[in-house]
Structure 1
Amino acid sequence: MKLSNLAWAMMVSAVAIVPAAAQDNQSVNVVLTEVLDVIEPCMAARSDVGRVVLQNINETLTEYAPAESALKPRLATEWSQIDEDTWEFKLREGVKFHDGSAFDPADIAFSIDRNKNAALGCETGGKYFGGMEFTTEAIDDTTIQITSTPASPILPLLLSVMPIQPESDPADTFTTNPIGTGPYKLVSWDVGQSLVVERNPDYWGEQPVVTGATYVFRTDAAVAAAMVQAGEADIAPNIAVQDATNPDTDFSYPNSEMSALRIDSMLPPFNDRRVREALNLAIDRDAMIGTIFAAGVEKATQQVPPSTIGFNHDLQPWPYDPDRARALLAEAKADGVPVDTEIEMIGRINIYPNATEVMEGIQSMLLDVGFNATLQMYDVGEWNRYFVKPFPEPRAPNLVQVQHDNAKGDPVFTAFVKHHTDGSHSAMSVPEVDDLITRATAASGDERKALWEEMFAKVNDEYIADVPLFYMVGFSRVGPRLDFKPTIATNSELQLAQIGFK
């Protein structure tokens, strides 16, 4: 089947890509394994959107550089804390949006309000700004004060994930023509087929070497890798471990992603802790390492990578113990828990390489210990209905395949959205956890670290909110004419301005 897909892709991709390449040999062709269903900047927290939009079309006030563990200026040149609740940001002068309008404090206020609009359903707002309210005050044309409730001691870092949009963008619907301040502007989007950007001649910063990019979508990672090998594409940022076979073009990198299954613990039988424990004990993680997952992955214990402050090093990976899993299910059943209820496994096609094979393997393991598990694999648009509140009703108890990125170094980018009662991805409700998240978010220093450690222990050991799988390793294939090496950020963004030519 892969051979027929490959042959088809090579014929089609030649038509889709060659015109862009023929125009300029300093443009690049990017092949992505997930098909974009939106190009809305407030959805850039989703990796498929972020790889195209983030810092290419729309920029943020600040930018976190993981390799340096440093927060750097972007649209804001400096910032300072006015009081416990308020930060002041000095804005870069002379910046214009792609439509020629001037960037000013009103655009920041608009972007914050837009991301916080629950009816719009922005992934960035729901994922990173849940439980927080903001007020803004323009001091002058290049100065804005932002007040957060509760107070956020890391607000400048938090704003490194919010792309700024012009006040002229629609306030209550997604845009299909993103306008930003970035080094590239959108030329065309052929939905489901390709997307083209070109260099912004009026960009405020240094002009990048890459003059433009054509993105095409191929859902088979093997096809994407083969296109780079054949010279039909320049880079495939996300390929499968079994396709990373060429040491001259293929790069592995720790990508700050954590893979898991989210347990809908609000519904029986998952509202019984014994059943949630049985889920974890039923899975043979060791058998997946070096087969459908890369040899370099590490077994996960919580939703943030070990480099994050407040990571709880006392938590241990779940062992594989199918006999214990069967015993727990039997014990729960004897107490009247409906363990025979059909549970739905909800997977996302190409959320990471081999995603379908992973879910099929886990389904087999769950069936083996006595779970009544069915599996559905969806594209990102349909999967998102089960991933983000409000969940579809009526719903069956479900396990949702997830992958979460936290390259920023603080659990504030994870905890509320994943574990708070009101978190947009959360399927749990534990008042003690909510309280810990609220207190940790407002704390600093050693107190912040200790509160996050306590929160992760309660979520992952006492309560068991998820089925943690692995801290991931990513693979990219980079064509021989490019000067580019993937980093920890590559899974969530692909800055064209960071690409050069040999």
Structure 2
Amino acid sequence: MTLRYLIAGALLASTAVSPALAQDNTDITVVLSEELDLVEPCMATRSNIGRVIMQNISETLTQLDVRGDAGLMPRLAESWEDLGEGTWRFNLRPDVSFSDGTSFDAADVEHSFARVFSDQITCESARYFADTELSFEVVDDLTIDITAEPAQPILPLLMTLVTIVPSETPMEFVDEPIGTGPYVLSDRAIGQYIQLDRRDDYWGEQPEVTSARYVFRSEAAVRAAMVETGEADIAPQITELEATNPATDFSYPNSETVYLRIDSADAPTSDLRVRQALNHAIDREAFIGTLLAEGTDLAVAIVPPTTLGWNGDLEPHAFDPDLARQLLAEAEADGVDVSLPIEIIARTENFPNVAEVAEALTQMLTDVGFNATLRMVEVAEHEQYYSKPYPESEGTRLILAQHDNSRGDPVFSAFFKYHSEGTQSGIADPEVDDLIERATAATGDERSALWSELFAVVHDELYADVLLFHMVGHSRVSERLDFRPTIATNSQLQLSEIGFN
């Protein structure tokens, strides 16, 4: 199947638009590409959940300014200070209440982190702290000391990842999230919609949006059409093909990196030459301006170029199918069974044209001699393959995924993607482990240099994964709204940032 054929098929796909949804004044409708499988606050760092929950229902101690240059800003913590020896003191905002009427205090912060790290549930945000042990001391109701071991110089930035829940929240996933945010989940019809309504007793400034209904449509053309006809107000994710109206359509460099995660513990990908062959089999340039938008960058790291420690000396692995075939032949001559099956697992609606991209990748691997197949799965099933323990298989699996890092430091990516104990790592290398641990504890130029060295090792020496693209996002926004997408729009959509024209 050629790339041209895949693109043609993508352009023909569409479904009927459903009847109009009622809207009134400051009520809005948001049409998303995939439904939430969970409404659990500790999972809000996963993009499909974060778009609804993060900073709308549930808030964090700190937040990063992605619309200006204010950097790290207060949210539930008014201020913080470094007490030395790995301990930071956070001074909490007074007169804050949860949507159930209970008061927010330091005990809620301690409990929220206890849930994140509990062995009774598996929380997405825990992955970012996998190499750091945190301990807590409640000084008083509005003061809490948090100690990181080893010392974590950017601990306040890490606080942007954990949403705060009441102390009474059980150690299990919840269906009715309680938060301090400006909205409450008021209704949910699984498979149809989620409704958020504004709280009258919110501690902060009242947002202009009074309610938001989230609906789900898998086809980008349908999402774009719904905004055009007034059935929806925002489609955060459409394709370049639909982005034809300068008055409503916006492109923006987002913080997502698309890649294929390789498990180097499996045969045949345990052999370096096989991993090299995977990288040289892919014609990355062929996707840009066809299935992926113009402006998409070829990736050489798991993080975007705006990240600390970016290594400008790295080059994308060249498309060289003859070299890929040669590497496979050399591995086979040394006894590696290169005929073992390689299954690509991709998440439906993960990004625009994901199915067509996955099909083209599978074909490219097949063309150089890999026994490659493709399986598209929903988000919950994808998670079973994306995170440890990985299911056993004959041969191996390549996980097509999109990783977000909008916070500017590799600490939000490196450990769980590359450390031996990382929950989504496909390698186990002592040098990599050491680099990650030293970089995490370092500051200034040393921190930047260590991250840069790590990127070079995983890309040029280990071929740890198949890095593909730094993505460009496209959104359609109704002309009645005052809103522009940012680098964070794919992972969170703060309703408080939306105004009306």
Global fold match (TM > 0.5) = yes
Shift of 1:113: 1.3
Letter in 2 for 1:76: A
Aligned counterpart, 1:153: 153
User: Secondary structure at the residue paired with 1:9?
Assistant: coil
Shift of 1:119: 3.9
Shift of 1:25: 1.6
**In structure 2, C-alpha distance between the alignment counterparts of 1:2 and 1:100, rounded to whole Å:** 49
Letter in 2 for 1:57: I
Report if the CA contact (8 A) 2:52-2:492 is conserved.
Answer: yes
**In structure 2, C-alpha distance between the alignment counterparts of 1:483 and 1:360, rounded to whole Å:** 38
Aligned counterpart, 1:351: 350
Aligned counterpart, 2:115: 114
Aligned counterpart, 2:100: 99
Shift of 1:260: 0.6
Matched, 1:60 2:68: no
**In structure 2, C-alpha distance between the alignment counterparts of 1:284 and 1:77, rounded to whole Å:** 49
**In structure 2, C-alpha distance between the alignment counterparts of 1:269 and 1:360, rounded to whole Å:** 21
Shift of 1:395: 5.9
User: Secondary structure at the residue paired with 1:187?
Assistant: strand
Shift of 1:92: 0.2
Shift of 1:219: 1.1
**In structure 2, C-alpha distance between the alignment counterparts of 1:464 and 1:404, rounded to whole Å:** 18
Shift of 1:29: 0.2
Shift of 1:230: 1.0
TM-score (norm: length of structure 1)? 0.96
Shift of 1:117: 2.0
**In structure 1, C-alpha distance between the alignment counterparts of 2:445 and 2:462, rounded to whole Å:** 24
Aligned counterpart, 2:6: none
Matched, 1:297 2:299: no
Report if the CA contact (8 A) 1:343-1:398 is conserved.
Answer: yes
Gaps of 5+ in 1: none
TM-score (norm: length of structure 2)? 0.96
Aligned counterpart, 2:140: 140
Matched, 1:9 2:17: yes
**In structure 1, C-alpha distance between the alignment counterparts of 2:231 and 2:394, rounded to whole Å:** 44
Rate the CA distance shift 1:268–1:36 in 2: closer, same or farther, 3 A: same
Alpha-carbon deviations, 1:388-421, whole Å to 9, x = none? 1122235640110111111111000000010011
Report if the CA contact (8 A) 1:85-1:148 is conserved.
Answer: yes
Gaps of 5+ in 2: 1-8
TM alignment of 1:328-343, pairs within 5 A: 328-343=327-342
Letter in 2 for 1:61: L
Aligned counterpart, 2:27: 27
Alpha-carbon deviations, 1:173-231, whole Å to 9, x = none? 11111100001111011112100000011000000110010000111111111111111
Report if the CA contact (8 A) 2:341-2:394 is conserved.
Answer: no
Letter in 2 for 1:134: L
Report if the CA contact (8 A) 1:221-1:239 is conserved.
Answer: yes
Aligned counterpart, 2:192: 193
Rate the CA distance shift 1:405–1:82 in 2: closer, same or farther, 3 A: same
Report if the CA contact (8 A) 1:2-1:222 is conserved.
Answer: no
Aligned counterpart, 1:81: 82
TM alignment of 1:36-55, pairs within 5 A: 36-55=36-55
Shift of 1:69: 5.6
Shift of 1:377: 0.4
**In structure 2, C-alpha distance between the alignment counterparts of 1:364 and 1:260, rounded to whole Å:** 16
Aligned counterpart, 2:325: 326
**In structure 2, C-alpha distance between the alignment counterparts of 1:152 and 1:255, rounded to whole Å:** 27
Letter in 2 for 1:472: M
Report if the CA contact (8 A) 1:130-1:423 is conserved.
Answer: yes
**In structure 2, C-alpha distance between the alignment counterparts of 1:446 and 1:153, rounded to whole Å:** 13
Aligned counterpart, 2:312: 313
Alpha-carbon deviations, 1:39-85, whole Å to 9, x = none? 11111111000000000000000001133160000000000001121
**In structure 1, C-alpha distance between the alignment counterparts of 2:378 and 2:219, rounded to whole Å:** 13
Aligned counterpart, 2:405: 406
Shift of 1:118: 3.8
Report if the CA contact (8 A) 2:341-2:395 is conserved.
Answer: yes
Report if the CA contact (8 A) 1:84-1:153 is conserved.
Answer: no
**In structure 1, C-alpha distance between the alignment counterparts of 2:118 and 2:457, rounded to whole Å:** 30
Rate the CA distance shift 1:194–1:309 in 2: closer, same or farther, 3 A: same
Alpha-carbon deviations, 1:96-143, whole Å to 9, x = none? 0000011011111111111112441111112x1112111101111110
Matched, 1:473 2:472: yes
Structure 1 range deviating more: 115-124 or 402-411:
115-124
Alpha-carbon deviations, 1:442-478, whole Å to 9, x = none? 1111111111111111111110111111111000000
